Amino acid sequence: MIQGAWTQNMQTTINSTTLSLIKGDIIHEETDTIVNAANSRLAGGGGVDGAIHRAGGPKIMEECRRIGGCPTGSAVITSGGNLKAKYVIHTVGPIYQDGKHDEAKLLANAYKNSLALAVKKGIKTISFPSISTGAYGYPINEAAESALKTVMDFIKTNKGLSLVRFVLFSDRDFEVYKKTLAMLTA
Ligand code: AR6
């Protein structure tokens, strides 16, 4: 099949870390860890959270229950259960209200704390979904800019990660992230 340019992946390298954007389903990722867009009770749910628990099996939920919860903007880690990824980092993005309730800071914290936890654990490769832009209603353009800026700032100043990948679930999200990365690297 001949694919149009709009389906193509995009990547850039900052210091020793590759930042890559692909379209896909995060449960298939073979990075050391994948990141889950969880809720603060770590109770499971729909969207990417539901997909990760379905594919990863009950071990991940058992570990989540033992951890007990995760405040918005923080991150915790479990094993990857039956997933190809060895770990799942569970982070909680903000529920978008009107942009005046610290949403931007909390979304940036969700990415920063996930990355910091990965580095602390010696993880080299990590895949993120687009946190907060599904059930939590964060506008995709603003969220993409915040997500990419936060990751770029982190890898400019932190060594240890070789790959940070965003796995975007829809054509539209993939296009928005690609346009935003092009703008930020221009
Ligand atoms: N792979 C990659 N991305 C996905 C997948 C997948 N398999 N499935 C959905 N997405 P959401 P949130 C995208 O709603 O907004 C849950 O119920 C989706 O298209 O999963 O942070 C939790 O338990 C969207 O772009 O997460 C929380 O209660 C992005 O993932 C709440 O939803 C995030 O959508 C969290 O809401």
Where do the domains of the chain lie?
A: 18-185
Residues composing the chain: 186
Decide whether any atom of ligand 1 lies within 6 Å of the 37 Cβ.
yes
Q: What is the CATH number of domain 18-185?
A: 3.40.220.10
Catalytic residues: 49
The reported pLDDT for the residue numbered 6 is 59
- Cβ atoms < 10 Å from Cβ of 34: 29
The reported pLDDT for the residue numbered 3 is 46
Cβ(132)–Cβ(96) below 8 Å: yes
The reported pLDDT for the residue numbered 8 is 86
pTM flag (> 0.95): yes
How far apart CA 136 and CA 171 sit, in angstroms, is 19
Decide whether any atom of ligand 1 lies within 6 Å of the 173 Cβ.
yes
How far apart CA 82 and CA 53 sit, in angstroms, is 9
Q: For the chain, 186 residues long, give each residue's pLDDT as a single digit of tens.
A: 444 555 689 999 999 999 999 999 999 999 999 999 999 999 999 999 999 999 999 999 999 999 999 999 999 999 999 999 999 999 999 999 999 999 999 999 999 999 999 999 999 999 999 999 999 999 999 999 999 999 999 999 999 999 999 999 999 999 999 999 999 998
Closest ligand 1 atom number to CA of residue 167: 2
Decide whether any atom of ligand 1 lies within 6 Å of the 72 Cβ.
no
The reported pLDDT for the residue numbered 15 is 94
Decide whether any atom of ligand 1 lies within 6 Å of the 167 Cβ.
yes
Report the separation in Å between the CA atom of 87 and the middle of ligand 1, taken as the mean of its atom positions: 18
